[in-house]
């Protein structure tokens, strides 16, 4: 057995990790815009990246390194270093050449696509780093773009023998969030004594039901990155405990991204059951979380269950009118051919949709497959934010 409790200090919660954020002049008004994560001993690294074929220079650079260990991650906001070709990779090499005291330093970026890195500002900004600092909240703020709040979490896991390890994380993401990661960066640190192979295996597994299960607008970014670093400092490990704690960390951050969806006012869980397979349930859930018609109905707090039914049918999975069941929280509006949607039920459902969090459930009635996806509404503010993103 084991015990998992909330901890403090975000990405600095695990022993031997340090982080901070500074202003390098990339953003206006001296806002924090560069961060680092440092470990005083080498780390194994597991990773998950975007499925977008136009993946950015930092991802290309990371993949070119092959199998390696590191102790330093440099992160900048405001510039994605994407669609910059070989020059973008060369820029990373030049920037990281100023980290000569670090072991295989790596870089991650987020921001506007199609512009070269402001290398001079970044290199000068790095001179402001104090690697002995533990300011995880500053680091979490520095990586934000259109986020309205920073996102961080830490957990401590105590095992039966009294040994313990910690997992800490920070993330950014609010737009270009799609069920294939997101315009998101997530950095997870741990002192658990876990092998790289097992760490990668667990990260891949957990990503499927967390970061790959969320949607704000259906767009997949060029820079999506999840990095998991372990320095093994604690000497403690239990696979089941590590998997559960990592899920809790990533699930929390995934829902925070949806809650912070650009202009979003609702966080909605799409709970699909009774599908022919888990994969078909996943297809339905993600089709619903991506649907613009569904999203706008959520924003208008309109319990238009017909849009739900139509989207289920359009998803391409096995589904039948006479077997489908649709509910808003515990209010069943359509039950396998029977319509329960009178004026009184409509009022009750509208109240549910007025909540900041609720669940839309669809039982397809054809099998045992299930999946949960997470999405938000789409309103006027999303257009305003993205129309002016570069300015």
Hey, which residues are catalytic here? 183
C-alpha distances in angstroms, 50 versus 53, 57, 183? 8, 12, 9
d(Cα 26, Cα 28) in Å, to the nearest integer? 7
Contacts of 261 (CB under 8 A, 6+ apart): 174, 175, 177, 216, 217, 376, 377, 382
Residues contacting 6, CB < 8 A, separation 6+: 154, 155, 156
**Quick one: which H or E segment has residue 326?**
strand 325-328
Contact status, residue 42 vs residue 218, Cβ threshold 8 Å: no
Q: Which two tokens stand for residue 294?
A: 């569904």
- Closest by Cα among 26, 246, 253 to 126: 26
- Token pair in block for residue 304: 């238009």
Q: Compute the distance between CA of residue 277 and CA of residue 283 in angstroms, rounded to an integer.
A: 10
Assess contact for 73 and 42: CB atoms under 8 A.
no
The conformation of residue 386, written as its DSSP 8-state character, comes to H
Q: How far is CA 101 from CA 17, 70, 98, 104, 311, in A?
A: 16, 11, 8, 9, 54
**Whole-number Å distance between alpha carbons of 367 and 27:** 51
Of 142, 176, 149, give the one whose Cα is nearest residue 50: 176
CA–CA distance, 187 with 50 (Å, rounded to integer):
15
Phi, psi dihedrals of residue 86, rounded to the nearest 5°: -65, -30
């Amino acid at each position: 057995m084991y015990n998992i409790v909330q901890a403090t200090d975000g990405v600095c919660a695990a022993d031997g990790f340090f982080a901070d954020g500074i202003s390098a002049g990339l953003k206006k008004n001296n806002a924090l815009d560069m961060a680092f994560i440092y470990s005083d001993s080498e780390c194994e690294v597991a990773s998950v990246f975007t499925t977008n074929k136009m993946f950015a220079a930092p991802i290309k650079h990371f993949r070119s390194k092959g199998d390696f260990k590191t102790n330093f991650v440099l992160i900048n906001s405001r510039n994605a270093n994407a669609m910059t070709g070989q020059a973008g990779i060369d820029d990373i090499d030049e920037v990281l050449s100023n980290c000569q005291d670090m072991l295989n330093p790596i870089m991650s970026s987020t921001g506007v696509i199609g512009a070269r890195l402001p290398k001079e500002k970044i290199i000068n900004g790095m001179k402001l780093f104090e690697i002995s600092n533990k300011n995880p909240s500053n680091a979490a703020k520095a990586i934000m773009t259109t986020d309205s709040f920073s996102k961080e979490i830490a957990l401590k896991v105590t095992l039966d023998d009294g040994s313990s390890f910690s997992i800490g994380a920070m993330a950014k993401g609010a737009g270009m969030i799609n069920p294939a990661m997101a315009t998101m960066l997530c950095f997870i640190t741990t002192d658990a004594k876990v092998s790289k192979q097992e760490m990668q295996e667990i990260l891949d597994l957990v990503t499927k039901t967390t970061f790959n299960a969320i949607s704000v607008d259906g767009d997949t970014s060029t820079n999506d990155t999840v990095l998991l670093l372990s320095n093994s400092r604690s000497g403690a490990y239990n696979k089941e405990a590590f998997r559960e704690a990592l899920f809790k960390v990533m699930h929390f951050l995934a829902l925070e991204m949806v809650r912070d969806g650009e202009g979003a006012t609702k966080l909605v869980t799409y709970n699909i059951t009774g599908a022919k397979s888990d994969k078909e349930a996943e297809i339905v859930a993600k089709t619903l979380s991506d649907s613009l018609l569904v999203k706008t109905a959520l924003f208008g707090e309109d319990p238009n269950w017909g849009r739900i039914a139509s989207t289920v049918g359009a998803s391409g999975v096995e589904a039948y009118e006479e077997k489908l069941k649709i509910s808003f929280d515990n209010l069943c509006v359509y039950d396998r051919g029977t319509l329960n949607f009178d004026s009184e039920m409509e009022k009750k459902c509208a109240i549910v949709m007025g909540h900041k969090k609720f669940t839309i459930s669809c039982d397809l009635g054809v099998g045992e497959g299930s999946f949960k996806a997470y999405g938000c509404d789409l309103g006027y503010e999303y257009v305003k934010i993205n129309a002016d993103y570069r300015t």
